[in-house]
Chains A and B, each alone.
Chain A
């Protein structure tokens, strides 16, 4: 939705126009006079997300389905809520060395404090990663350590109360699990791990948000977060094919649930529906057609993303299981994955362990270049950007980067691919081959230092608008910097959540900059066999209008 469409006379807290950049950026970093244990969170609209609906929890067989609201005094917790939580903590301490260590190790040096985008843009001290973890650690110390049992508050312990649970809900759903703080921590304490445990514990009481639970329920049933049914997915992809035909004059095939394909392609469903992700999805179709790839989409495994990651390890595994199951059913050789952020955290760090071994698949080999992707020898899943970078390196694609000359592009490293994988050079190498104007944002804001869009980990919903804009400040401000300095008008990224949420972040902090996926740029620059002369880009915008480089405010 564009800025203009959203304008209304009386904007609400879930609309961007309710806020203005000057006011939001007046951040007060002064901590409250009272200590943090005595300060309760302020549940104001714009800072929390609507609770998970009972029907979704019931469908998934999850705890305590009911109607409730964080705004109510009574959260309708089970009677033995405290016992459930303390047992839950105990179980996880025994099952995860990470959790046990991260409870014990922190020296509160504060290196992480100003690394969180929510703290930088909001100033709430409990958004300092160290303090977010202390919310849980204080209970751990009180109930699980000798010092805490003996000395209580003097050992940094505090009793687990309903108010503490409410505070957990507020702050564990104000963390996007982006792992930026973990880069700077001298002991590698990873707040994503803390938040994941916190959310697992909250889920034991039926405390979760609908923006996560509904996609999880959808994905369990229909195969994707959006709840697109098989025939709907076919319609969607055919609709893309029509637009592609309009742009290129080429009619392409859409292989769906095809047995005997070599490759199963899985991508986040966000790109089936939301702009600008749809253009990236069209890009995949065009690339695969041009290569003559023997591949297939799946309606059953029609989701690469996994909101189970934001719920619990068990939910994560339940949803992820479909990918290998479908690869096995269809008899493919290996799996190719689309542009997404947290999807790649799951595929890279969890899938093989949870649902492997994938011994029914083969080590991925590019049928075009012959490159054997040894680094994916066990998982058997390759990132589309690795695949495309390899194609370009071997000169297998005919590219006309000048078609993107109207664009002045910067690159946003998405959190999970950067900090849970390290895919940094592959996209840059692709980008340099498909456009001629590429400018980096400041070094403290890219690569492993990259900033979150503010809406990751299931927080990218409109009722969370204030926090999204605050959390988006560091990223938006870096975009603004290259916009002013180099005339950047396009922010490229390889994450479906980014494509949805950064659009708002740019509209607010760097108006004039649009968001694009990498394969949208690839497809625009791709010279296809038998194509007509390109007059439109994938957004159906006349190239002529763009060539002049509109919105370029200053040149190099």
Chain B
């Protein structure tokens, strides 16, 4: 059920708009109303969630240090894995966000007879994750040509670079294939590994299915259905300029594709996908390890009951005196 339920939900979400597109009201709903709704939910949801995180204070400076600290002048510190200043911390965050530094460290452990533990390199998750995120990014950039007039020049460059293999007419975009492949990999490893399957929730499968459906519908639109691209752009520009109008003759699959993307956006703020924003706030990564050099202030620090020296000496004074340990009060 953990896998089946999200699969069914994603399937229903994909079929509904294709059916709904047969009637005018359906086209209005899936092509215009829901995109507005999704955009509002996405923007408001993400903002509120980030504000909620930002509102919670960071009482302690708790970086996870992954290299040599900065201490004595003759010992070289690890600037990026254990930063001691802002520049280093920005570097560490850049490596984390752009190249998934931590995941790159991943190892695989195997318990062999003996016993003997063997450690192997395990870069597949890193590679799959990187492939997935970057192809998604490129695809989003490519799609800007449907939302902008005139189309920014770099969109054209991205487009031609992505299709440089020139296989098929229109040419197959590398990132489309990579995206579907990477999502497929992420799904398969989740099902394949007994541990991962055991800990996975419906919320782990749902976005995978949703993105897979988005990728599949997009590929079909481009290569099989060959929908009216000019019509799509007219529609999207209308929506974005707040003068929505229905364009006749758009294929039902277009409404499916658009609706699934909007569903992903609307789902985003309530899901684990919020790691996109959250990673920037993670206190084990975004703080410099300069704890002993610069005092970190806890805004809610409060006084606590302690056992004072006076109380201590009162209890042990006689014993201290007998042992010749100096005391405050004779």
Question: Are A105 and B272 touching (Cβ within 8 A)?
Answer: yes
CB distance from B116 to the nearest CB of A (A): 7
Instruction: Write the B185-207 contact mask toward A (1 if CB under 8 angstroms, else 0).
Output: 00000000111111111111000
Question: Are B195 and A220 touching (Cβ within 8 A)?
Answer: no
Number of interface residues of A (CB under 8 A): 120
Q: How distant is the Cα of A150 from the Cα of B196 in the complex, in angstroms?
A: 26
Question: Are A21 and B115 touching (Cβ within 8 A)?
Answer: yes
Q: Closest residue of chain B to A238, judged by CB?
A: B323
Question: Are A230 and B296 touching (Cβ within 8 A)?
Answer: no
Q: How distant is the Cα of A472 from the Cα of B293 in the complex, in angstroms?
A: 34
CB distance from B62 to the nearest CB of A (A): 6
Within 8 Å of chain A (Cβ to Cβ): is B105?
yes
Stretch at the interface among B25-33, B174-182, B243-251, B297-305: B297-305
| Contact residue among B67, B117, B322 (Cβ-Cβ distance under 8 Å from A231) | B322
Within 8 Å of chain A (Cβ to Cβ): is B157?
no
Q: Which residues of A contact B64 (CB under 8 A)?
A: 179, 182-183, 188, 190, 419-420
Task: State whether A352 and B103 are in contact (beta carbons under 8 Å apart), knowing that A230-B316, A425-B68 are contacts in the complex.
Answer: no
CB distance from B9 to the nearest CB of A (A): 10
Q: Which residues of A contact B309 (CB under 8 A)?
A: 300, 322, 325-326, 329
Within 8 Å of chain B (Cβ to Cβ): is A4?
no
Question: Are B293 and A376 touching (Cβ within 8 A)?
Answer: yes
Q: Which residues of A contact B197 (CB under 8 A)?
A: 31
| Chain A, 383-426, CB within 8 A of any chain B CB | 386, 389-390, 393, 418-426
Q: Which residues of B contact A378 (CB under 8 A)?
A: 292-295
Within 8 Å of chain B (Cβ to Cβ): is A95?
yes
| Chain A, 314-330, CB within 8 A of any chain B CB | 314, 317-318, 321-322, 325-326, 329
Question: Are B326 and A258 touching (Cβ within 8 A)?
Answer: yes
Residue with the greatest number of chain A CB neighbours at <10 A, chosen from B64, B69, B295, B312: B64
Task: State whether A420 and B59 are in contact (beta carbons under 8 Å apart), knowing that A98-B283, A221-B307, A325-B306 are contacts in the complex.
Answer: no
Question: Are B195 and A128 touching (Cβ within 8 A)?
Answer: yes
Q: Which residues of A contact B58 (CB under 8 A)?
A: 96-98
Q: Which residues of B contact A352 (CB under 8 A)?
A: 291-292, 295-296
Q: How distant is the Cα of A99 from the Cα of B283 in the complex, in angstroms?
A: 10
Q: Which residues of B contact A188 (CB under 8 A)?
A: 64, 96, 102, 279, 282-285
| Contact residue among B65, B77, B285 (Cβ-Cβ distance under 8 Å from A420) | B65
Q: Closest residue of chain A to B299, judged by CB?
A: A95
Q: How distant is the Cα of A472 from the Cα of B300 in the complex, in angstroms?
A: 38
Task: State whether A474 and B117 are in contact (beta carbons under 8 Å apart), knowing that A105-B279, A256-B325 are contacts in the complex.
Answer: yes
Q: How distant is the Cα of A518 from the Cα of B70 in the complex, in angstroms?
A: 21
| Contact residue among A107, A419, A425 (Cβ-Cβ distance under 8 Å from B272) | A107
CB distance from A449 to the nearest CB of B (A): 8
CB distance from B311 to the nearest CB of A (A): 9
Task: State whether A422 and B65 are in contact (beta carbons under 8 Å apart), knowing that A100-B52, A100-B53 are contacts in the complex.
Answer: yes
Stretch at the interface among A76-84, A110-118, A270-278, A539-547: A110-118
Stretch at the interface among B11-19, B106-114, B147-155: B106-114
CB distance from B288 to the nearest CB of A (A): 12
Q: Which residues of A contact B76 (CB under 8 A)?
A: 425
| Chain A, 189-226, CB within 8 A of any chain B CB | 189-190, 193, 220-223
Task: State whether A185 and B102 are in contact (beta carbons under 8 Å apart), knowing that A29-B195, A128-B199, A424-B68 are contacts in the complex.
Answer: yes
Q: Closest residue of chain A to B297, judged by CB?
A: A353
Q: Which residues of B contact A94 (CB under 8 A)?
A: 56
Question: Are A429 and B75 touching (Cβ within 8 A)?
Answer: yes
CB distance from B90 to the nearest CB of A (A): 15
Q: Closest residue of chain A to B111, judged by CB?
A: A27
CB distance from A25 to the nearest CB of B (A): 4
CB distance from A222 to the nearest CB of B (A): 8
Q: Which residues of B contact A221 (CB under 8 A)?
A: 307, 312, 315
| Contact residue among B78, B105, B312 (Cβ-Cβ distance under 8 Å from A422) | B78
A-B contact pairs, 26 of them (CB 8 A): A22-B115, A31-B195, A31-B197, A97-B57, A98-B283, A98-B284, A104-B49, A111-B106, A125-B198, A154-B5, A187-B275, A188-B285, A193-B62, A193-B284, A222-B312, A259-B326, A300-B312, A318-B307, A322-B307, A353-B60, A354-B301, A375-B71, A379-B292, A379-B295, A389-B72, A429-B75
Besides A35-B198, A222-B312, 9 more A-B contacts (Cβ < 8 Å) are A36-B198, A105-B278, A155-B203, A258-B326, A325-B306, A353-B59, A378-B293, A425-B76, A474-B109
- Mark B residues whose CB is within 8 Å of A: 5, 49, 52-54, 56-72, 74-78, 81-82, 84, 96, 100, 102-103, 105-109, 111, 114-117, 119, 125, 129, 193-204, 270-272, 274-275, 278-279, 281-285, 289-298, 300-301, 304-309, 312-313, 315-316, 319-320, 322-326
Q: Which 6 A-B pairs have the closest CB atoms?
A: A422-B69, A25-B115, A231-B323, A188-B284, A422-B65, A444-B119
